[in-house]
Chains A and B, each alone.
Chain A
Amino acid sequence: MSDNTDDKRFEKCVDDKMLREVEHFMLREARLLDTEQLKEWYEQMVSPEIRYVVTCTQLRNRNERRYTLPDKVYIYDDNYQQLGVRVTQFYDPQHWRVDPPEQYCRMVTNIEAFETDNKDKIFVRSNCLVTRARRAYEVDQFFYTREDLLIRSEQGNLTLLNRTIDYPERSVQGRNMLILL
């Protein structure tokens, strides 16, 4: 999560028309993922150039200076091909883990969209809560802040170019994170 209060990325909000388009993008994405339309999401909303990263941060003291090994823990570090593997796995008839089906509910809120140096790229920050209900008793919740870069494709629609999540829960309570965030 960015701790830069005057981060340049947050300087210039997009206009209302663009914000509506961004909101529509975020809500449609949530709906497609909630309703098992992963293939549609992947083909229509994701840029082939995507980098999809979920990390969490090892707990260190604020004044730590001398220990210099990386503190980022990568949970997802995917490109378009690898995201495609996950989507294909979901639909595989041998994928018993989602049979009986899981139920998902994504809430996307605090959506802010900002202009970037490139007129075709929009920087979007949002907060999310995903609930995954499974096998009668398993209810897992995932909460996080997303920082996305959207890019307008040649066809004119917005697509997801970059997704970066610094996941706040250090030890993931929800069994696994095999769910698109």
Chain B
Amino acid sequence: MNDMDQLVDIENSTQSKKIFLDQDIYEQEQERIFGRCWLFLAHESLIPKAGDFMTTTMGEDPVIVVRQKDGSTKAFINSCTHRGNKVCSAESGNARSFVCNYHGWVFGSDGSLIDVPLNERCYHGTIDKSTHGLPGIRVESYRGFLFGCFDQDAPPLDEFLGDFGWYLDTWMVGAGGGVELIGPAMKSILNCNWKVPAENFVGDAYHVGWTHAAALEVLGGELAGLAGNQADMPYDDLGLQFTTRFGHGFGVIRHAAASIHVKREGYDKFLRDTLPAVAENLGQARADLYDGHWNCTTFPNCSFLYGTNTFKVWHPRGPGQIEVWTYTIVHKDMDEETKKEIVKQAIRSFGTAGTLESDDGDNMTNCTHTNQGRMTRKGRMDATMGIRHEGHHPVYPGIVGSSFIGETSYRGFYRFYKEAMSAESWGDIRAQDNHWDEAWKDNGFWEAKAGKGE
């Protein structure tokens, strides 16, 4: 077992570079993180009718997600219980059954084995169909976002999201209409470790002005001010950063939701028109975040930018490679033209040919593969920005950092990463529920700030 105390130093907020390219660590992550956590599968809007299905992966396990006749959703492993072939090669569709191409075993849309060719004549009745269904996976929905979990002992999805769910409701419930994902997903292969984009989305507003300088410059508008970190900005007033119990976190730039969009009249108007209802439904604290731009990661590998509205899943493919899946988030109640325009802008910025996406991809690849070097991998990654400028907030739950540019959410991400990697079971993890925030020993930042009357 890997020495997690050495690999992740919570107090000093550093991580060993080894965790980004080591095969043994990757295997442990598959077991203890991807085998335990709720992983994003699909949005309900993508499989609206009975029999509608999508194929995806959880970690590296192939999975089929199917809408059932009773409206519920089931998921099972996409591998024949006979000799292991995939039983479905399509990415989506509507099916009454899934037939293995190899020997013709037939599985129902609920995953049960319903037919075995030559069962009577050649198996002589020895196959028990009731024990040869496709292995099922727990599925739960949060505001239409379907997640799957391999671990029967994991808490329910809404508990796993916890305070992060409270924040997500800001726009997943919003004025009441909710959101949906526009697919099909763009897909591309990127040679990086899955944690590099996950940490980038969870809490890296720092890179925006530098990595994306050229893209922001040509985009124009208020974001051009960030390019090259040239502008003198009151960073502490522009936004906040948040982390929560199970590593989910995000940063918010206030009033910047639509700022990446070149044509944004429809989107801006929608946000303005719905803001009063958000305040009424959810209170002023969340209404204050509603028109902000959010960079988020749901631990471990589902990330999104609310505002830019790109929605990503980083599917791991070994320690040094991922497959990136990209959808677009839209509010269901928007008019069709506004939805279309948002999709276009999201694609142009963070799609496979996006003007910002390619900058990130280059950094992420190099942040991973430099660790191949024997001496390099003995080094540490630093995530100390904003340390001690964070803590329990008088209004917002979780741990809150003072600026949207900071590494509070990195610290929360790797705090839970270490906890999950070290724990023997969900029982061990839940036993720490009342102590997790002790990682922020000096967590009275907001109290002290209020005391000074700031």
Contacts and interface: CB of A to CB of B under 8 A. Distances in A.
Interface of A: 54, 56, 58-61, 64-67, 69-78, 81-82, 85-86, 88-89, 92-97, 170-179
B103 interface: no
A58 B186 CA distance: 9
6 contacts: A60-B91, A85-B348, A171-B189, A172-B352, A176-B353, A176-B358
Kindly name the residue among B46, B188, B343 whose own CB sees the greatest number of chain A CB atoms within 10 A: B188
Contacts of B323: 171
A152 B348 CA distance: 28
Interface in B113-139: none
B185 A78 contact: no
A59 B184 CA distance: 10
A59 to B, nearest CB: 5
A71 B213 CA distance: 34
A67 B92 contact: yes
Interface string B174-189: 0000000001111111
Interface residues of B, number: 45
Contacts of B91: 58-60, 170
Contacts of A78: 348
A175 B361 contact: yes
Nearest to A62: B90
Contacts of A170: 91, 187
A110 B93 CA distance: 34
Nearest to A92: B214
B359 A97 contact: yes
Given A60-B90, A67-B94, A177-B353, A171 B213 contact: no
A89 B94 contact: no
Given A75-B347, A75-B351, A175-B190, A97 B362 contact: yes
A77 B185 CA distance: 15
B173 interface: no
B188 A176 contact: yes
Interface in B328-355: 343-344, 347-348, 351-355
B51 interface: yes
B189 A173 contact: yes
A74 B343 contact: yes
B269 interface: no
A60 B92 contact: yes
Given A173-B189, A175-B361, A71 B184 contact: yes
Contacts of B188: 171-177
A89 B355 contact: yes
A64 B217 CA distance: 45
Given A60-B93, A69-B46, A173-B189, A76 B353 contact: yes
A74 B46 CA distance: 16
B57 to A, nearest CB: 12
Interface string B230-270: 00000000000000000000000000000000100000000
A100 B241 CA distance: 35
A77 B217 CA distance: 21
A158 B358 CA distance: 32
Given A70-B184, A176-B188, A176-B357, A61 B93 contact: yes
B272 interface: no
Kindly name the residue among B92, B185, B218 whose own CB sees the greatest number of chain A CB atoms within 10 A: B218
Given A60-B92, A75-B186, A94-B228, A175 B213 contact: no
A129 B313 CA distance: 29
Given A176-B352, A176-B358, A67 B184 contact: no
B94 A66 contact: yes
B40 to A, nearest CB: 17
A174 B358 CA distance: 11
Nearest to A173: B189
Given A60-B92, A69-B92, A75 B49 contact: no
Given A61-B93, A176-B358, A94 B353 contact: no
Nearest to B362: A97
A96 B351 CA distance: 19
A67 B355 CA distance: 32
Contact of A89 (B183, B189, B215): B215
B219 interface: yes
The 8 closest A-B pairs by CB, nearest first: A95-B214, A92-B214, A66-B94, A94-B213, A176-B358, A58-B184, A171-B187, A177-B353
B365 interface: yes
Interface in B68-95: 89-94
Interface string B48-60: 1101100000000
B23 to A, nearest CB: 21
Given A59-B89, A172-B188, A178 B355 contact: yes
Contacts of A95: 213-214
B358 A94 contact: no
A177 B355 CA distance: 10
Interface in B347-402: 347-348, 351-355, 357-359, 361-362, 365
B191 interface: yes
Nearest to B55: A59
Contacts of A77: 344, 347-348
Contacts of B154: none
A85 B218 contact: yes
Contact of A178 (B93, B191, B358): B358
A89 to B, nearest CB: 5
B227 interface: yes
Interface in B257-293: 262
B189 to A, nearest CB: 5
B186 A92 contact: no
B51 A66 contact: yes
